[in-house]
Structure 1
Amino acid sequence: MTTYKNITVYCGSHFGNDGAFASLAARLGEALGKGGFHMIYGGGTVGLMGLAADAAMAAGGRVTGIIPRVFIEKEQAHRGITELLEVPDMVTRKQTLIESGDAFIVLPGGIGTLEELADTFSHYRIYAAPGSRPPILIANIDGIYDPLKVLFQNWLALGFIEKEDLSSIHFCSSLEEIMKILEK
């Protein structure tokens, strides 16, 4: 049986225009906090990331933020979490987030969230055998990631990725589905 303790969460620094996104971020943070998971994220106070971190803290959870100097200078660093690690740049942030997670959750977000997902997927595709890759749980709330699912299938059909490359990718349509995988 696998136990996932350190959960890296990628999500938007905006709220999006669908209330389901903010609701999921808050409910996920609460579930991680109550479930005894260690939430690791981008370290900001803004958007979905701030909501998830606040909810995890309010539920008694442990939260670590990894934030580059550029966002500290913009006064977006979350000083009310368990631990805030200041790093020099985005490259170091992503590397630290990848190295810190036992499992990864991708909430709704924009290009930065997509970049984090791509870096994580690529890292484990290169450096880990298919059976030893951590789960990457994509929160496909209200179909936000349906185009990504189609893109992955297109890459598979055209021979740019192998079926086993997708074995650790899980498109989840609910918080319950995410938590079921984490609690295996």
Structure 2
Amino acid sequence: MKSICVYCGSATGISPSYADAARSLAGVLVGHNLNLIYGGGNIGLMGIIADEVMRLGGEVTGVIPKALVDKEVAHMALTRLYIVNDMHERKAMMASLCDGFIALPGGIGTLEELFEMLTWLQLEFHQKPVGLLNVGGFYDGLISFLDHTVLQGFLKPTHHALLLKSSDAEDLILQLKAHFQ
């Protein structure tokens, strides 16, 4: 593994634990010599994790649609910044540049990106691990809902098991790395 794509909020959320988790994940990424691939923003948890990886001497690649650059949310102090035409191109490029995916807390966009990559893994369009960093129980409701979808016969247990989960960044990275062994 060389690069991890991190999906996360363009806001910081109401709990300081979310920003702390972004900084912690940044430290673990750098400690494992893993590059960060992310959405290229300078706001919210996106900006926090990118700034921390850069501060610690790691490499950060951002991928951002032109429309968001125009709204002045692009992080211009990254190792690399790709400006693309739209969100579809953004997601495809981020997926092609990384070796695995992690979702920190975030909103609809974070969930959409997470579920698209999980769906692609389920359909074997890629073989990259997908994980949730469940900060302070942020994703407990989602995990319970996925358990419910299994019980209701809409999600196979084997597909549910594809989503790696941990409340600890180091543990989650080790789970992602184990996916390749």
Which TM-score applies when normalising by structure 1? Answer: 0.91
- RMSD (Å), alpha carbons: 1.4
* Cα displacement string for residues 91-137 of structure 1 (whole angstroms, at most 9, x for unaligned residues): 11112222222111100001110111111111221234xxx732211
Asked if 1:178 is matched to 2:178, the reply is no
8 A Cα contact 2:25 2:170, kept in partner: no
1:100 aligns with one of 78, 97, 102: 97
Instruction: Give the match for residue 83 of structure 1.
Output: 80
Q: CA deviation at 1:152?
A: 1.0
Give the whole-Å Cα distance in 1 for the aligned partners of 2:97 and 2:156: 26
- 1:6/1:103 contact within 8 Å kept: yes
Equivalent residues in 2 for 1:22-61 (5 A)?
22-61=19-58
Which digits, 9 at most, give the CA deviation of each residue in 1:3-36, with x for residues without a partner? x211000000000001110001012112212321
User: Is 1:141–2:138 an aligned residue pair?
Assistant: no
Tell me, which stretches of 5 or more residues in structure 1 are unaligned?
none
Distance in 2 separating the partners of 1:137 and 1:101: 13
- For residue 109 of structure 2, give the secondary structure of its aligned residue in structure 1: helix
Identity rate, percent: 38
1:151-162 to structure 2, matched below 5 A, reads: 151-162=145-156
Distance 1:76 1:34 in 2: 28
How many Å separate the matches in 2 of 1:121 and 1:98? 11
Q: CA deviation at 1:182?
A: 4.1
Partner of 1:9: 6
Deviations along 1:114-165, one digit per CA (max 9) or x if unpaired, are 111111111221234xxx7322110111111011101111111112121221
The question of whether the paired residues in 1 share the 8 Å contact of 2:9 and 2:46 is answered with: yes
Q: Secondary structure of 2:62's partner? A: strand
> Which segments of 5 or more consecutive residues in structure 2 lack a partner in the other structure?
none
1:109 paired residue number: 106
SS in 1 for 2:60: strand
